[in-house]
């Protein structure tokens, strides 16, 4: 699912919203789910799997392949600005 481009203020007093993202629990009808949102030029992508129905090796392979595709699309392979956490 995709909430798209979230248009909210980025500063609230002394606080700054640096990214917006969301995720929900998969169900019996959907064992792995992607959630996407962008805010202030930052894409947040969450990949949620139902473990042990989806093995960790599959989860990690899908996460790494998705990262590779996104990095190739924006030309950031190896760039410190590219952040990804798997696990």
Q: Any residues with CB less than 8 A from the CB of 66 and at least 6 apart, and which?
A: 34, 45, 47
Q: What is the DSSP letter of 27?
A: B
Distance, in Å, from the CA atom of 49 to the CA atom of 59, rounded to the nearest integer, reads 7
Instruction: Specify the pLDDT at position 72.
Output: 92
Give the pLDDT confidence of 4-43 residue by residue, as tens digits.
Answer: 778 888 888 999 888 887 777 777 678 888 888 888 888 8
Give the pLDDT confidence of 35-77 residue by residue, as tens digits.
Answer: 888 888 888 888 888 888 889 999 999 999 999 998 999 886 5
Q: What is the DSSP letter of 10?
A: S
pLDDT band at 2 (very low <50, low <70, confident <90, very high): low
**Alpha-carbon torsion 76, 72, 7, 30, what sign?**
negative
Distance, in Å, from the CA atom of 22 to the CA atom of 83, rounded to the nearest integer, reads 16
Instruction: Specify the pLDDT at position 68.
Output: 94
């Amino acid at each position: 699912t995709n909430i798209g481009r979230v248009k909210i203020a980025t500063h609230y007093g002394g606080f700054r919203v640096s990214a917006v993202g969301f995720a929900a629990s998969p169900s019996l009808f959907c064992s792995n789910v992607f959630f996407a949102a962008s805010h202030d030029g930052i894409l947040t992508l969450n990949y949620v799997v139902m473990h042990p129905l989806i093995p960790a090796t599959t989860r990690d392979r899908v996460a790494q392949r998705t990262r590779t595709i996104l990095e190739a699309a924006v030309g950031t392979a190896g760039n410190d600005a590219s952040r990804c956490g798997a696990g």
